[in-house]
Amino acid sequence: MIKSVTQNHGFGCGVACVAAVIGVSYAKALGLFKNPEQAWTKGYYCPDLVLALAAGKKRYSYKYLKSNRDPVLRKVGTIVFTRFSKVYPCGHYLVRTKKGWMNPWFLG
């Protein structure tokens, strides 16, 4: 079961998603990234998340989704990176749970 994790840094949504998938705290997940300081400076790319997940003993890969109907979007544990938008000008990571999409920005 995936438990919600709130991001602790402005660019830490990927870290929070990794923490939720692995089932660890945000701080522990941050330690799995090669450059933890990026959580408050520029964020992470998909390959960075894949490496952090591997360090947490989870095997993941990434791909560009051409359709919002791709079956992988219904799989619990899927992490997606959203398009750039007015709300998220640098994009944003979300993770799929049984209840829907976990948004690490709005948790409390």
pLDDT for position 24:
98
* pLDDT tens-place values along the chain, 108 residues long: 899 999 999 999 999 999 999 999 999 999 999 999 999 999 999 999 999 999 999 999 999 999 999 999 999 999 999 988 898 888 999 999 999 999 998 655
In angstroms, the Cα distances linking 73 to 43, 63, 79, 92, 108 are: 22, 12, 8, 15, 25
Domain extent listing, the chain? 13-102
Q: How far apart are CA 6 and CA 19, in angstroms?
A: 9
Please tell me the pTM assigned to this model.
Answer: 0.94
Sheet with 100-102: strands ordered across: 79-81, 93-97, 100-102
DSSP symbol at 36: G
